[in-house]
Amino acid sequence: MEMKRNKHIEIERKFLVKGDFTPFVISKESIIQAYLITRPEKTVRVRIKGNKAFLTIKGAPDSNGFAHPEFEYPIPVDDAEKMLTTLVESGLIEKERNYVPFGNHIYEVDVFHGNHEGLVIAELELQSETESFEKPEWLGEEVTGNQRYYNAYLASH
């Protein structure tokens, strides 16, 4: 059964990055995030992205790892900062998100810092699990569904 995207379903593919994407970046922003709950069936994340903050609740991914329920809500930055210092159960994720258009899509390329310095992952959000997309030459191995590359896993390892 194909899962089509609605406002509470995120369908994404993840890839390692093997080449230089930087000449194609149209914008970027800093992200700091951590997890209040990390369980296989759900995660609760607090994130500061630029000058905004969000609380995100994600359900377990489907069997192929492409889609999962997601609910995201804006929260005051002051609240997010307090949560990041008092309520998290895992380490902080620090990364720079780069927006890179290619074909009909925009890849979000995360360059990790801190404990994961050197890791670069590209994510692509799709409207359906079978939506076709073009792969730029700098895109490497697909890691969709590999829990080792989930941010919740990275935060605690």
Query: Tens digit of pLDDT for each residue in 87-117?
Result: 998 889 999 999 999 999 999 999 999 999 9
Q: How many CB atoms lie within 10 A of CB 67?
A: 21
pLDDT of residue 7: 67
Class for domain 9-156, per CATH?
A: mainly beta
Q: Is 63 a residue whose pLDDT tops 80?
A: no
- The ranges assigned to domains in the chain are 9-156
Residue reference for tokens 């590999």: 146
Q: Is 144 a residue whose pLDDT tops 60?
A: yes
Tell me how far apart the alpha carbons of residues 83 and 79 are, in angstroms, rounded to a whole number.
6
pTM of this prediction exceeds 0.95: no
Residues in CB range of 18: below 8 A, 6 or more apart: 138, 139, 140, 141
The catalytic residues are 35
Query: Tens digit of pLDDT for each residue in 26-45?
Result: 999 999 999 999 988 899 99
C-beta separation of 93 from 151 below 8 A: yes
- The DSSP code for 100 is E
